[in-house]
């Protein structure tokens, strides 16, 4: 965060030095508009993050016990009933409660309700495991990974559920294989912003985050229009390499055999061909379950049950 403000301050100082103070002249606006966008990005992205981090540090469970012990007061009962109910729960019961409430509240919204149907539960993992690069969910089992401290911030859990539900791995929403930065990220961001009423703090953060990501989106899209496609697709295991420049240099100069590049996500046709080829002379095709296919090829179980298994049976009879 400090680096963001230092960079913004230095950039503003240089523009002031060489261009002068802001005016309504076109050339002047061209220099100051990126600065304004960066300021909005920092405020929108960093304020919710900072508030969430500080909120997570508070001993809410102890506060809830203390308030419940004083529940004889009518003011406490009226003002803190929901707070005490939620924060008195353990972490596992908190995430189950949030997901149940979110699905209930969104039941009248057919689009969001259907996308949340791909999410079955949260999985709490240790803090030492970073949730980045696509290692944020189990697509087949419909589980989204979180840290235990996140349960102190219900708005964070709601926003994470909406953004990271594995619906985008269903080809009915986004054809496979797909790009993350210019395709999947945009769709996930739009979903969060369209349903901002469920978690306004997370939507504000997402708005700021999208200002930053939009630059890369524009960069990759322009290069693609020029016939140069350097953006990596999401890998077959559902992960994504964010540091693509480093990855490209490593691919060019680091040639050890154990650094084999992982292939992109399989398309439906590739999955069917691979299964029919591998099971023609080995285990019987009927021994494969929908979960086996979902886990092996990174599909939501819902899609495998509803679409892929039918296609596979049809092709196996042909």
Average of per-residue pLDDT across 184-213: 93
Note the pLDDT tens digit of each residue in 78-125.
778 888 889 999 999 999 999 999 999 999 999 999 999 999 999 999
Q: What value does the mean pLDDT take over residues 51-71? A: 88
Least confident of 64-68, 121-125, 174-178, 247-251: 247-251
Cα distance between residue 37 and residue 45, in whole Å: 12
Helix/strand/coil for 227: coil
The SS3 of residue 147 is strand
As a whole number of angstroms, the distance between CA 112 and CA 106 comes to 6
Percent of the chain with pLDDT over 90: 50
pLDDT, position 244:
58
Q: What is the chain's mean pLDDT, rounded?
A: 86
- What does the alpha-carbon distance between residue 317 and residue 313 come to, in Å, rounded to a whole number? 6
Closest CA to 264 of 289, 299, 244, 237: 237
Q: What is the DSSP pairing of strand 121-125 with strand 137-138?
A: unpaired
Which pLDDT score is estimated for 2?
73
Mean pLDDT of 51-80: 82
Res. 245: pLDDT tops 70: no
pTM for the model stands at 0.86
Residue 157: pLDDT band by 50, 70, 90 thresholds?
very high
Selected residue with higher pLDDT from 58 and 212: 58
Calculated CA dihedral for residues 196, 197, 202, 207, nearest 10 degrees: 30
Percent of the chain whose pLDDT exceeds 70: 88
Average pLDDT over residues 39-60: 93
CA distance 22 to 12: 10
For residue 75, pLDDT over 80 is answered with: no
* CB-based burial label for 275 (10 Å; 0-12, 13-18, 19+): buried
pLDDT for 147 equals 95
Q: d(Cα 154, Cα 199) in Å, to the nearest integer?
A: 9
Lowest mean pLDDT across 11-25, 30-44, 108-122: 11-25
Binning pLDDT at 50, 70 and 90, where does residue 257 land? very low
Structure confidence at residue 246 as a pLDDT band (50, 70, 90): low
Burial of 161 (0-12, 13-18, 19+ CB in 10 A): buried
Q: Which helix (H) or strand (E) segment is 123 a member of?
A: strand 121-125
């Amino acid at each position: 965060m400090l680096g963001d403000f230092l960079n913004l301050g230095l950039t503003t100082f240089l523009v002031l030095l060489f261009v002068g103070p802001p005016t309504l002249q076109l050339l002047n606006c061209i220099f100051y508009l990126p600065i304004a966008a960066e300021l909005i990005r920092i405020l929108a992205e960093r304020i919710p993050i900072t508030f969430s981090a500080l909120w997570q540090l508070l001993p809410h469970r102890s506060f809830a016990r203390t308030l419940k012990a004083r529940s004889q007061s009518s003011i406490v009962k009226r003002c803190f009933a929901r707070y005490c109910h939620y924060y008195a729960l353990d972490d596992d019961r908190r995430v189950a409660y949030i997901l149940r409430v979110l699905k209930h509240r969104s039941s009248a919204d057919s689009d969001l309700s259907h996308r949340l149907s791909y999410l079955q539960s949260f999985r709490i993992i240790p803090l030492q495991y970073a949730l980045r690069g696509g290692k944020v969910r189990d697509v087949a089992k419909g589980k989204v990974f979180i840290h235990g401290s996140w349960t102190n911030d219900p708005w964070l859990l709601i926003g994470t559920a909406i953004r990271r539900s594995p619906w985008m791995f269903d080809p009915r929403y986004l054809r496979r294989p797909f790009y993350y930065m210019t395709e999947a990220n945009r769709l996930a961001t739009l979903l969060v912003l369209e349903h901002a009423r469920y978690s306004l703090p997370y939507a504000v953060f997402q708005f700021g985050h999208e200002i930053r990501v939009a630059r890369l989106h524009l960069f990759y899209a322009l290069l693609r229009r020029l016939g140069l496609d350097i953006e990596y697709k999401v890998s077959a295991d559902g992960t994504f390499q964010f540091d693509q420049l480093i990855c490209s240099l490593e691919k060019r100069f680091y040639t050890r055999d154990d650094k084999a590049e992982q292939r992109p996500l399989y398309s439906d046709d590739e999955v069917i061909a691979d299964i029919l080829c591998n099971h023609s002379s080995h285990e019987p095709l009927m021994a494969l379950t929908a979960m086996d296919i979902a886990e092996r090829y990174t599909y939501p179980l819902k899609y495998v049950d509803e679409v892929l298994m039918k296609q596979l049976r049809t092709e196996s009879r042909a």
